[in-house]
Amino acid sequence: MNENPFDITKAVHYTNQQLLDYWVNLPGDSGFEEMINPKSQMPMMIVGGKGSGKTHVLKYYSFSLQKLRYLENNTQSVSNQISEKGYLGLYMRAGNLNAKKFKGKIHTEEAWQAIFEYHLDLFISQISLKVFVDLIKGEPHLLKDQSSICEKIISLFDKWPEDKIPKTLEELLNCFISFQKQIDYKVNNSSLLGLPIEGLDILVTGAKLILGIPKILKEEFVFLKNVQFTYLIDEFENFTETQQKFINTLIREIEAPVSIKIGTRPYGIKTLETFSGGESIRKGAEYEEVDIDGIFRNRPSDYSNFIKQICLKRVSESGFLIKSNEALRNSLEIFDYDNLQKKLLTLKRIGHRSELERKLPIEELKEIQIIFDNLNYNSNFLYEKASYLIFYRSWKKAKSEFEFKKESELISKSLHNFIQGRELKKNKHRKILEKFKYDFIDQLSVENNLPPVYWGLDNFIRMSAGIPRLVLQIMKYTFSWANYNEERPFAMTSKISINSQREGLLQASDWFIKDAQIPGKFGVTVNQSIHRIGQYLQTLRYSNTPPECSISSFRIDKTILSPQNQKTLKFLTEYSYLIKTSDRQDKNLERNDNTYQIIGILASIWGLSLSQRGVPNLNIDLAKLIFDDDDETGKQFKLFINEIDSKYNAPFLKKKSKPNKGKTTETPSNQTKLL
Amino acid sequence: MNYEYYLKRSFSSVADIDYTEDYDFFLSSYNESDRVIGLFNGIFSKEKIWIILSEYNYTKNEYPKNKNLFIPEINTNEGEIIRQLFNDYNITSNHRLCIDITGFLRPHIAFLVRYLKALNFKKVDFVYTDPVRYRKKEKTPFSSILSSVEQVEGYKGTSVTDTSNDLLIICTGYDSKRTRAVADYKKKASKTLLFGLPALQADMFQENILMAYDAEDDTGKGNLQYLDSSFSLFAPANDPFITAQVISEFVTNKNNLKPITNLYLSPVSTKAQTLGMCLYYVNECIDKPVSLIFPYCETYERITTEGLSKIWIYTLEF
């Protein structure tokens, strides 16, 4: 069995060497270096969803990877290359601090905060000291006498408890470690026995070490003359609100030669307030924000090339001979309409024909036959679907008795004109096919139990909506299935089948839902809402008369939502279930609505489009049905879906309370997983 | 440290229990399972106390009648509950204790072990009853909605800035969602799963492996890792001492190859294995960069198993 090139999908599972080996810069004019700008003094919040690659990017600019890169390029010493690059990256993950332990009923929040700040000051400073211990080991000539630097650092403390003054940075580092251990020990014992912390001297306050040590080091080391110390703090979401306030205060007070770049998930910023009178830090003036997901989404071509380069690196590192984007694309089977057409011709019964046969309220067989003769067109099922849509639309619009046979004759005429290229400007078939072609393809697939057409690397990239890990995840499962199906994935002579891609995508969608789960009861509400949105859009798209083409989005005036429902919508966006796309202006109502698209990896669950054209509106009543989470709303939503089903599907029953007759009372059977 | 010297005894029913000493206190967390109630009613002890944990959502009407009840205040954590219990009943290291861990939640079991050690108890009996089967096999629900992953009281350890060789060991069970949650919480750490083998019953190991695959993306590195001893550990599901031994040996070996920077332990499998993980911690990890993390949930299923197959008494010596 071949090794799966996509087995590891998280940067955190990589070693530093692997992080370097798998590094791919963002193509185009502006790569990651320009985006992150590690030597810029301006603090930065790097915001990105789960799997956006924040950790990989932040770690790439950390000292550990700087050193690896500079050693590979051994024309100059590491220190010289740091000097040339102008920055030194000091990476830490907030999660590693276990910052949640600085809370409890034993002390006030203020007291815990003081302990946390002291702990953090010691913790972050250890990272700087370690870097210099390492550097001096590799280049002992950098600093001959370390005792004076130690003295200067010790002078930052309000009180120094040790009788023996450390003479080297390593000894100083060990003191810091021992101070920190003392805090950990006292905090842990206090929570174990339920007793207040006693005898803990806070030896330094106000982040003096975080801000002061770089200044001292800069004075002592010549190569640091033009170098900035860039703290790279990852997983900001792991800090509590008060702890974030402290970091925000640092952002406000930071000065050369120090800067901070913070990595956080979109929902990770709990506050922008500082301890400077509760004022907030100001975007643009005091910090920059880089929205990684947004950048990827706004540069689709660069993003697509970026992902293909990542995939290629992995595939070739695993020993496969695929070397170009083209070869990579070609290694996955892609959708071919001719194949679908041929497959449909082999079927005994075709879904939409059988459906109409059931629904036509005509008893005379001869008349039924004429109608089908007029509507059916074996040479091209897309044309035939256009005829059916025109037919259903007329049926829906009919105010009095609908003349089925007559309408079918008109449609047949329109089709013939279309085929022969006559009167194209007004031709209904032309207009409909221009808009609904891809909807018809998906409908034909679903109605006949064939998979919708989400296949191929380019589609997978679209489905990821700027989150690289999603593509890697789909490829991982797809590769596993291809291996299982003995398809020899990435061998030059074979392609990964649509079947393996379908299974892989199914598994990846399931993974996404589990992975994006929001903790707590609220997570259930959010999950329920996305399922309702999906179900609603699916009901529209797979109806006889879809109101719009390429449905996968909706628009909403957020101001109509209750605060709770606004929160749900916000979370759906922050956890990437929904992607906020361009705002649309409603000219008639003079208001700006926000438009949201279901992320592609989930769109596949409900068979929704990956494009965004038709955008139904969610009015206040519908929004409540979707976002409210009480049991009654759940029942009402089911009734609503039945009403929508009746409204858009023949025989187009209009009265709400009247029980529907026949087969159209049920929601379409394809409302669960379509793949 | 050789944990295999610790004493464990098994009995097929409460009536068969062979008492080596009289117990002053018998502590059990109230739960409707026959195996929990049967033991509470049958065991000999000067005083028996039911602890009513709010996570099981029992209403007053459902509380056991005419019994000694300890009802903690709501919104209190495992540390606060256990400390309050010991204060209220004036339980000290001079008393002989027996604790049935079958109905307790894992963080409470963990805190108990750590607290008993801090209070200088020398020897305590812990009881665990094996079920015949889980109610819905590998699909058995155990917990409701995840609240958050947190460090367990008393097991918060220290932390070091170097994270290059962090390790997370998860005693994994059927509750794959919780395994995922823990693995996701400590993303950076490399992961090792410890499975119950032999399982409580023959088919449970396979069911456990099935559920572990559900968490594969968060826990590991791909194909077939869970059947490979270089990625996984195995210890009997009902033996805390072998569990402690296996973890101890594994960590020692890992440290010999390359020192572990931060070690995280997470018990989400059987309560006997939870006991083993905690025993290892209190013997070898206090004041080191080692912590116990747990995926706390809002509520827990009251009854997850059927039948009583065996009663185990594990004597922990501190």
What is the per-residue pLDDT across A525-535, written as a single tens digit (0 to 9) for each?
Answer: 999 999 999 99
When pLDDT is averaged across residues A467-472 and rounded to a whole number, the result is 94
Q: Which residues are CB-neighbours of B130 under 8 A, at least 6 positions away?
A: B200, B238, B308, B309, B310, B311, B312
Give yes or no for residue A658 having a pLDDT over 60. no
Spatial distance between the Cα atoms of A477 and A500, rounded to a whole number of angstroms? 9
Question: pLDDT value at position A476?
Answer: 92
Interface contact A515-B184, CB threshold 8 A? yes
The model's pLDDT over A97-106, given as tens digits with 9 standing for 90+, comes to 878 888 887 8
Instruction: Place A663 in a pLDDT band, splitting at 50, 70 and 90.
Output: very low
When pLDDT is averaged across residues A257-279 and rounded to a whole number, the result is 92
Distance from CA of B192 to the nearest CA of A (A): 13
Local structure of residue A496 (DSSP, 8 states): B
Q: Which residues of A fall below an 8 Å CB-CB distance to B?
A: 1, 4, 7-10, 12-13, 16, 64, 92-93, 95-98, 100-101, 105, 123, 126-127, 130, 177, 180-181, 184-185, 187-188, 191-194, 473, 480, 511, 514-515, 517, 519-521, 523-524
The model's pLDDT over B80-133, given as tens digits with 9 standing for 90+, comes to 999 999 999 999 999 999 999 999 999 999 999 999 999 999 999 999 988 776
Which CA distances in Å does B287 have to A187, A628, B147? 11, 48, 27
Instruction: Pick the residue of A19, A93, A178, A191 with the most B CBs within 10 A to test the interface with B by mutation.
Output: A191
Interface contact A515-B287, CB threshold 8 A? no
The model's pLDDT over B231-281, given as tens digits with 9 standing for 90+, comes to 688 899 889 999 999 999 999 999 999 999 999 999 998 899 999 999 999
- Most confident among A4-13, A284-293, B134-143 (mean pLDDT): A284-293
The model's pLDDT over A53-68, given as tens digits with 9 standing for 90+, comes to 898 899 999 999 999 9
Q: Which residues are CB-neighbours of A349 under 8 A, at least 6 positions away?
A: none
Question: pLDDT value at position A669?
Answer: 38
Question: pLDDT value at position A67?
Answer: 93
Percent of chain A with pLDDT over 90: 58
Question: pLDDT value at position B210?
Answer: 59
Q: Among A12, A181, A519, select the one facing B147 at the smallest CB separation.
A: A519
3-state secondary structure of A16: helix
List of long-range contacts for B118-121, beta carbons under 8 Å, 24+ apart: B118/A192, B118/A193, B118/B154, B119/B86, B119/B92, B119/B93, B120/B93, B120/B318, B121/B93, B121/B97, B121/B318
Distance from CA of B273 to the nearest CA of A (A): 22
Counting one residue from chain A and one from chain B, the pairs whose CB atoms sit within 8 A come to 104
Instruction: Pick the residue of B213, B217, B258, B265 with the most A CBs within 10 A to test the interface with A by mutation.
Output: B217
Distance from CA of B238 to the nearest CA of A (A): 27
Which CA distances in Å does A222 have to A70, A230, A498? 18, 18, 60
Give yes or no for residue A542 having a pLDDT over 90. yes
Of the candidates B148, B152, B149, B95, the one whose C-alpha atom is nearest the C-alpha of residue B125 is B95
Instruction: Place A247 in a pLDDT band, splitting at 50, 70 and 90.
Output: very high
Q: Which residues of B touch A64 (CB under 8 A)?
A: 164
Region for residue A208 given its phi and psi (left: phi exceeds 0; alpha: psi -120 to 50; beta: otherwise): alpha
Spatial distance between the Cα atoms of B173 and B237, rounded to a whole number of angstroms? 9
Q: Among A13, A92, A127, select the one facing B221 at the smallest CB separation.
A: A13
Predicted TM-score of the model (pTM): 0.81
Interface contact A105-B221, CB threshold 8 A? no
Spatial distance between the Cα atoms of A456 and A459, rounded to a whole number of angstroms? 6
pLDDT greater at residue A29 or residue B68: B68
Whether a cis peptide bond, with omega within 30° of 0, leads into A257 is yes
When pLDDT is averaged across residues A165-183 and rounded to a whole number, the result is 92
Q: Which residues are CB-neighbours of A563 under 8 A, at least 6 positions away?
A: none
Q: Among A4, A188, A521, select the one facing B145 at the smallest CB separation.
A: A521
Question: pLDDT value at position A659?
Answer: 34
Instruction: Place B201 in a pLDDT band, splitting at 50, 70 and 90.
Output: low
HSE of B146, CA atoms in CB hemisphere, 13 A:
22
HSE of A268, CA atoms in CB hemisphere, 13 A:
21
Give yes or no for residue A668 having a pLDDT over 80. no
Give yes or no for residue A666 having a pLDDT over 60. no
Question: pLDDT value at position A665?
Answer: 33
The model's pLDDT over A119-169, given as tens digits with 9 standing for 90+, comes to 999 999 999 999 999 999 999 888 778 899 999 999 999 988 867 789 999
Distance from CA of A16 to the nearest CA of B (A): 9
Interface contact A16-B156, CB threshold 8 A? no
Q: Which residues of A touch B226 (CB under 8 A)?
A: none
Give yes or no for residue A660 having a pLDDT over 60. no
Distance from CA of A605 to the nearest CA of B (A): 19
What amino acid occupies position B240? P
Question: pLDDT value at position A565?
Answer: 93
Lowest-confidence range among A271-285, A379-393, A454-468, B151-165? B151-165
Q: Give the DSSP H or E segment for A597.
A: strand A591-598
Query: HEC profile for B194-207?
Result: EEECCCCCCCHHHH
The model's pLDDT over A184-236, given as tens digits with 9 standing for 90+, comes to 999 888 888 888 888 888 898 889 999 999 999 999 898 999 999 999 999 99
Q: Which residues of B fall below an 8 Å CB-CB distance to A?
A: 79-80, 83, 114-115, 118, 145-148, 150-151, 153-154, 156-164, 166, 177, 180-181, 184-188, 190, 217-218, 221-223, 262, 287, 291, 298
Q: Among A100, A185, A193, select the one facing B118 at the smallest CB separation.
A: A193
When pLDDT is averaged across residues A44-56 and rounded to a whole number, the result is 91
Q: Give the DSSP H or E segment for A592.
A: strand A591-598
Interface contact A1-B223, CB threshold 8 A? yes
Q: Among B180, B287, B291, select the one facing A98 at the smallest CB separation.
A: B291
Q: Among A9, A92, A191, select the one facing B156 at the smallest CB separation.
A: A191
Of the candidates A516, A671, A636, A525, the one whose C-alpha atom is nearest the C-alpha of residue A578 is A516
Q: Which residues of B touch A13 (CB under 8 A)?
A: 187, 190, 221
Q: Among B83, B145, B157, select the one facing A184 at the smallest CB separation.
A: B157
Q: Among A9, A194, A480, select the one facing B79 at the smallest CB separation.
A: A194
HSE of B200, CA atoms in CB hemisphere, 13 A:
28
Local structure of residue A436 (DSSP, 8 states): H
Averaged pLDDT of chain A? 88
Query: Among the residues of A74-222, which ranges form H helices?
Result: 78-85, 109-138, 147-154, 169-193, 208-220
Question: pLDDT value at position A131?
Answer: 94
Interface contact A519-B146, CB threshold 8 A? yes
Instruction: Place A265 in a pLDDT band, splitting at 50, 70 and 90.
Output: very high
Lowest-confidence range among A314-328, A476-490, A616-630, A648-662? A648-662
The secondary structure of B66-94 as a DSSP string is: TS-EE-PPTT--HHHHHHHHHHHTT--TT
Cα nearest neighbour of B180 on chain A: A515
Please give the structure tokens belonging to residue A82: 């740091």
User: Do B146 and B176 form a contact (C-beta atoms < 8 A)?
Assistant: no
When pLDDT is averaged across residues A10-17 and rounded to a whole number, the result is 70
Query: Among the residues of A448-497, which ranges form H helices?
Result: 457-464, 468-484
Q: Among B83, B156, B218, select the one facing A187 at the smallest CB separation.
A: B156
CB atoms within 10 A of CB A196: 11
Question: pLDDT value at position B214?
Answer: 60
Question: pLDDT value at position B217?
Answer: 58
When pLDDT is averaged across residues A330-335 and rounded to a whole number, the result is 90
Beta bridge mates, A232: A91, A261
Distance from CA of A557 to the nearest CA of B (A): 31
ipTM score for this prediction: 0.77
Q: Which residues of A touch B181 (CB under 8 A)?
A: 519
Query: Among the residues of B14-149, which ranges form H helices?
Result: 34-42, 78-88, 106-118
Question: pLDDT value at position A591?
Answer: 64
List of long-range contacts for A435-438, beta carbons under 8 Å, 24+ apart: A435/A549, A435/A550, A435/A613, A436/A385, A436/A386, A436/A389, A436/A546, A436/A549, A437/A382, A438/A549, A438/A550, A438/A609, A438/A611
Instruction: Place B218 in a pLDDT band, splitting at 50, 70 and 90.
Output: low
Question: pLDDT value at position A672?
Answer: 36
Distance from CA of B82 to the nearest CA of A (A): 10
Spatial distance between the Cα atoms of B116 and A375, rounded to a whole number of angstroms? 82
pLDDT greater at residue A341 or residue A29: A341
Averaged pLDDT of chain B? 85
Please give the structure tokens belonging to residue A297: 């989404």
Q: Which residues of A touch B187 (CB under 8 A)?
A: 10, 12-13, 95
Distance from CA of B11 to the nearest CA of A (A): 34
| Bridge-based pairing state of the strands A591-598 and B7-11 | unpaired
Instruction: Pick the residue of B161, B264, B282 with the most A CBs within 10 A to test the interface with A by mutation.
Output: B161
Of the candidates B269, B145, B214, B188, the one whose C-alpha atom is nearest the C-alpha of residue A515 is B214
User: Do B289 and B158 form a contact (C-beta atoms < 8 A)?
Assistant: yes
Question: pLDDT value at position B142?
Answer: 62
Query: Among the residues of chain B, which ranges form H helices?
Result: 34-42, 78-88, 106-118, 176-185, 204-214, 216-219, 240-257, 271-284
Distance from CA of B153 to the nearest CA of A (A): 6
Distance from CA of A76 to the nearest CA of B (A): 26
Distance from CA of B279 to the nearest CA of A (A): 16
When pLDDT is averaged across residues A73-79 and rounded to a whole number, the result is 87
Q: Which residues of B touch A7 (CB under 8 A)?
A: 221-223
